[in-house]
A and B are shown apart, each in its own frame.
Chain A
Amino acid sequence: MIDAVGLHKAYRLNKHRVRALNGVDLRVEPGEIYGVVGQSGAGKSTLLRSVNLLERPDAGTVTVDDQELTALRGARLRAARRGIGMVHQHFALLSSRTVAGNVGFPLEVAGVDRARRRARVGELLELVGLGDKARAYPSQLSGGQKQRVGIARALASAPKVLLSDEATSALDPATTESILALLGRLRDELGLTILLITHEMDVIKRICDSAAIMENGEFRESGRVLDLIGTPGSLLARSLFPIPEGGGPDTVVVTYPRSFDEPLMSELTRRFDVDANIRGGGVERVAGQSVGRLSVDVRGARRAEALTFLSERGLLVEEAGK
């Protein structure tokens, strides 16, 4: 649905050349929620703005829904942008307009007549659970409500793609949760494709099917979240499951890249007569699966056999002490 190839973008900032994008390739499949994480200044924001050409990349092409946006300018680019919704960190609502006026804005710009606009705005507000707030002004709403208005507005022209620029970063944890749930539901109900950028690992964990870790204008790693977690040395796994650093010569890091029903650790100690001492770790739901990562000291004569057993069962075993 979104295909970006070889994106480069450099800025001049206080006489320094900053490479915001340094050869980024991004592919988002239809119906997927794709999250890009990274520190501020990593280039996430520039990447997101390149997708709807709010920033034109110096090199590379962007194709959304089989239309090459980088080849468009003027009126045709504006028309293409109407097929891509965008949600903003600070909501970006017009303070001079009511909720209904804000949600109807993209329709007004697209020349939709008043009666059809009103009907569509009503639908959209119901969809995001704000049916009773049509006449309120943004200043009368909470942060979560404002973002719901932002989402309703982004969906007004029935886009296939939604871009989310740190949509939950200005919200408290409970509100973040409800907004993420809403995005997930909209993806399911409307078949949306969502590209989001965030600096919160939690967002990736909650709703993303695929993810990329960005640093200095490049993707350090990217792919399906569960695949990444199951990849040796994965930065994403390390960021999602912080575990105690270091460890002794016997320490291994065991990753469960999917849900396991069998009690593997107790089976391990029984069958191979090893001691398994869990130093730390966690189990979380990621992309609908129960995924875990543990730091374990495994000691005993049959240690190597035991580790092989775990690997054969589909766990990822990495020696941490070496």
Chain B
Amino acid sequence: MIDSALSLASTTEPTGAWNALVAFVRDWPQMWPNLWLATMDTVYMVWWATVFSVLFGLPLGVLLVATDRGGLTPAPAVRAVLGAIVNIGRSLPFIVLMVAVLSLTRFLVGTTLGPTAAIVPLSIGAIPFFARLVETAVREVDREVVEAAHAMGTRKLTIVGKVLLPEALPGLIAGLVMTVVTLISYSAMAGAIGGGGLGDLAIREGYQRFNDHYLWATVILLIVIVQAVQSLGDLVVRRLSRR
């Protein structure tokens, strides 16, 4: 038994895959400064894009519910316009949207290159995405609870702040996590047009200069980041759920 296991090990050990792994690990310290900078660029882009997504997507999502039939302030025309804007944003593939908003990016940031410039298309892509998730979460809030708030003489804005958002909070956090994960994936795509970050590194070093180790390293880092965001988000949602 032992003999055969040893012989199996000794025959598989010196294969190409093993050697490649060893080489990759040896290469890691040398790649790390670049990887670290790229990771920080990614975090920077995703952070600010998330901030803008919440800043604009949250009100937009609430408005989508509030202006709907049976909402707080039904306004079919407003809702139709908002819905159309969100749909346009949602229907463009991100890589197309990035190119399409280049002139806006140049106007706002002064350049179309680098992580700061990438925040513009990232935000524009994520705002409608997050808005739809907010809409779904807020729509889940029990209508009877909203009615009860009206019956207690609550102002509409107070209903949003004290009823709709707190009641929808677990759903909102879940939506936020999904948005951040999507933004991480978008940010890698932003690398394709010089946005910086892990995607940029993977494309420049890994794809254009055939350096597989950079490719692997970015893949590993992206998986770790996404996993961490998701787990943290799930934890928060579990803590908040009182249903």
Contact for B152 among A77, A82, A89, A95, CB less than 8 A: A82
Per-position binary interface string of chain B over residues 71-108, scored 1 when its CB falls under 8 Å from any chain A CB and 0 otherwise: 00000000000000000000000000000000000000
Per-position binary interface string of chain A over residues 54-71, scored 1 when its CB falls under 8 Å from any chain B CB and 0 otherwise: 100000000000000000
List the A side residues contacting B240 at CB < 8 Å.
96
Q: When the two chains form their complex, are residues A96 and B154 in contact, meaning their CB atoms are under 8 A apart?
A: no
Q: When the two chains form their complex, are residues A54 and B152 in contact, meaning their CB atoms are under 8 A apart?
A: no
Q: When the two chains form their complex, are residues A139 and B167 in contact, meaning their CB atoms are under 8 A apart?
A: no
Interface size on B, residues (CB 8 A): 21
User: In the complex, what's the smallest C-beta–C-beta distance from B139 to chain A, in angstroms?
Assistant: 16
User: In the complex, what's the smallest C-beta–C-beta distance from B103 to chain A, in angstroms?
Assistant: 44
For residue A309, CB closer than 8 A to chain B, the reply is no
In A81-113, the 8 Å CB interface with B consists of 81-82, 84, 86, 88-90, 92-97, 105-106, 108-110
Per-position binary interface string of chain B over residues 130-155, scored 1 when its CB falls under 8 Å from any chain A CB and 0 otherwise: 00000000000010110111111111
- Give CA–CA (A84, B148) in the complex, Å: 11
List the B side residues contacting A137 at CB < 8 Å.
242
- Give CA–CA (A96, B161) in the complex, Å: 13
Contact for A86 among B142, B148, B243, CB less than 8 A: B148
Q: When the two chains form their complex, are residues A105 and B153 in contact, meaning their CB atoms are under 8 A apart?
A: no
Contact for B144 among A78, A92, A138, A153, CB less than 8 A: A92
- Give CA–CA (A110, B152) in the complex, Å: 9
- Give CA–CA (A77, B169) in the complex, Å: 30
Contact for A109 among B145, B158, B242, CB less than 8 A: B158
For residue A79, CB closer than 8 A to chain B, the reply is yes
Q: When the two chains form their complex, are residues B154 and A90 in contact, meaning their CB atoms are under 8 A apart?
A: no
Given contacts A94-B167, A105-B162, A110-B153, contact A89 B243 (CB under 8 A): no
- Give CA–CA (A163, B147) in the complex, Å: 13
User: In the complex, what's the smallest C-beta–C-beta distance from A49 to chain B, in angstroms?
Assistant: 8
For residue A198, CB closer than 8 A to chain B, the reply is no
For residue B206, CB closer than 8 A to chain A, the reply is no
For residue A52, CB closer than 8 A to chain B, the reply is yes
User: In the complex, what's the smallest C-beta–C-beta distance from B10 to chain A, in angstroms?
Assistant: 60
User: In the complex, what's the smallest C-beta–C-beta distance from B170 to chain A, in angstroms?
Assistant: 9
User: In the complex, what's the smallest C-beta–C-beta distance from A148 to chain B, in angstroms?
Assistant: 15
User: In the complex, what's the smallest C-beta–C-beta distance from A322 to chain B, in angstroms?
Assistant: 49
User: In the complex, what's the smallest C-beta–C-beta distance from B237 to chain A, in angstroms?
Assistant: 13
For residue B178, CB closer than 8 A to chain A, the reply is no
List the B side residues contacting A82 at CB < 8 Å.
152-153
Q: When the two chains form their complex, are residues A54 and B147 in contact, meaning their CB atoms are under 8 A apart?
A: yes
For residue B113, CB closer than 8 A to chain A, the reply is no
Q: When the two chains form their complex, are residues B152 and A81 in contact, meaning their CB atoms are under 8 A apart?
A: yes
- Given A82-B153, A105-B152; 19 other pairs, CB 8 A cutoff: A78-B155, A81-B151, A81-B153, A82-B152, A86-B148, A90-B142, A90-B144, A92-B147, A92-B148, A93-B145, A94-B145, A95-B243, A96-B167, A97-B166, A106-B152, A109-B153, A109-B162, A137-B242, A153-B148
> Can you identify 17 A-B contacts, CB atoms within 8 angstroms?
A54-B150, A78-B155, A79-B153, A81-B150, A81-B152, A81-B153, A84-B151, A86-B151, A90-B144, A94-B145, A94-B163, A96-B167, A106-B153, A108-B162, A109-B158, A109-B162, A163-B151
A-side interface residues toward B, CB under 8 Å? 52, 54, 77-82, 84, 86, 88-90, 92-97, 105-106, 108-110, 137-139, 153, 157, 163
